[in-house]
Each structure stands twice: as C-alpha cells, then as structure tokens.
Amino acid sequence: MYAENLYQLKERRKTPINLRDGGEQKSEISSDDYYRDIRSRVVLVWVLCNVILVMTITQIWKADAIHSNTYLAFILWCVFGFAIVRFGGSLAFLLHLCVRRIVVTFHKWQLRRSGDEGVDSFVTIPN
C-alpha cells in the first residue's frame, strides 16, 4: 500500500499542474491574438519613445537653439525620414489589401455569373 501511494505521488508530480484533477484549464492564445499583442506593444513602445524624444528636446534646448545644433537636426531628420518610410509602407500595404479585395470580389462575381457552384470555397479573402 505504501509503495502504491508513493508511485501515485511520483506520477502525479510528473504531470503538469493544469492537467491534474481540479487544475485550471488555461485558454490557449491563438496566433492572431499573439501577433496583435506584439503589434500593440511595438506601437506603444514607439509612441513612448517619441514622447520621450519630444520631452527631451523641449526641456533641454530652446526653439532658436535647435537650428544651430547639427547633431539634433540630424536626429530629428532621421526620425522624420523613418516616419515617412513607415507611412509609405503602411499606405502600400493598405493599397495592396484594397486591390486584392477588389480583384477577389471581381473574380467571385465572374464565377457566379458564369454559373459555377462552390465559388466560396474556391476563392477566399485573408483577414
């Protein structure tokens, strides 16, 4: 009896806590939720960095001193350039997504017009 109880305790220790009797079942995070969380955190860090940059510039240098400081001007122009590149990439992605949806909708419309069944399973639009 002692050996049997000892064996059961050892086996119980090997199983994860969430699989034991009465353990809480954790809901698994889907990959879409994971990527949304990562994107949200990246945007939050980016906004905080921009706020820190603006606060630093406004507290340390006066408005007329910024023009004479070449290092600060270089940093600000780099931030501006990166923002323009990021905006261009976002705009290109939105344009690509819109064109893709228009093309897929047009193809679905053509297939329905030609009388094919099973159109919805043939062409899908990614979210």
Q: Domain check: are 83 and 53 in the same one?
A: no
What is the pLDDT, as a whole number, of residue 73? 79
- Please give the residue range of the domain that contains residue 109: 70-127
Residues 6+ apart with CB under 8 A from 23: 16, 17
CB 19 within 8 A of CB 34: no
Express each pLDDT in 23-79 by its tens digit: 555 567 777 788 888 888 998 998 898 889 888 877 887 767 767 778 877 888 898
Q: Using the predicted structure, report yes or no on whether residue 99 has a pLDDT greater than 70.
A: yes
CB 104 within 8 A of CB 93: no
Provide the number of structural domains found in the chain: 2
Residue 5's CB: how many other CB atoms inside 10 A? 9
Element (H, E) at 112: helix 70-114
Q: Domain check: are 74 and 117 in the same one?
A: yes
What is the C-alpha to C-alpha distance for residues 11 and 34, in angstroms, rounded to an integer? 33
